Amino acid sequence: MERTFVMVKPDGVQRGLVGEIIARLERKGLKLVALKMVRVSEELARRHYAAHEGKPFFPGLIRFITSAPVVAMVWEGREAVAVVRNLLGPTDGAKAAPGTIRGDLANDIGFNLVHGSDSVESARREIDLWFRQDELLDWENHREAWLYDRG
């Protein structure tokens, strides 16, 4: 089953939205396989957002991500990467449609509450960057029998 990396950003932690964000992913049927709260170092922030190095918003982005704790998670499910990106909505909360996490709860392009990997390849890279192998739990979620029609 596909895995994706999700992070509740400092604004989500500060605004008390960790539970709400986790609840939405759980209700969709995704399976939580790793979770930890992290005070992000400058080095980890730079490695996570390496693709954006050199862009005008990069210094502010690094300042933001290191400014308060985040909640780092790995979620698993069928097409988990795309499913999470759809639940998040587009980057700018002010433009995101209602019904999405950002559309319902965020109002800014930078302070957009939550990160989700943008491809299976990014997910692999980010999971490796944020978690040790023994922090990823393999467990059977009995709910899945009623979630996916396996014929």
- Burial of 94-122, coded b for 16+ CB within 10 Å and e otherwise, reads eebeeebbbbebbeeeebbbbbbbeeeee
Interface residues for ligand GTP in 53-72 (CB under 6 A)? 57, 60-61
* Collapsed DSSP state (helix, strand, coil) of residue 72: strand
Measured from the CB atom, the residue of 20 and 118 that comes closer to Mg ion is: 118
DSSP character at residue 148: S
Interface residues for Mg ion in 88-127 (CB under 5 A)? 118
Q: Does residue 93 interact with ligand GTP by CB under 6 A?
A: no
Measured from the CB atom, the residue of 18 and 61 that comes closer to Mg ion is: 61
**14 touches, from ligand GTP, Mg ion, none (C-beta below 5 to 8 Å by class):** none
Residue 108 CB, nearest approach to ligand GTP (Å): 8
Can you tell me the distance from the alpha carbon of 151 to that of 149, in angstroms, rounded to the nearest whole number?
Answer: 5
- Where in the sequence numbering do the catalytic residues fall? 115
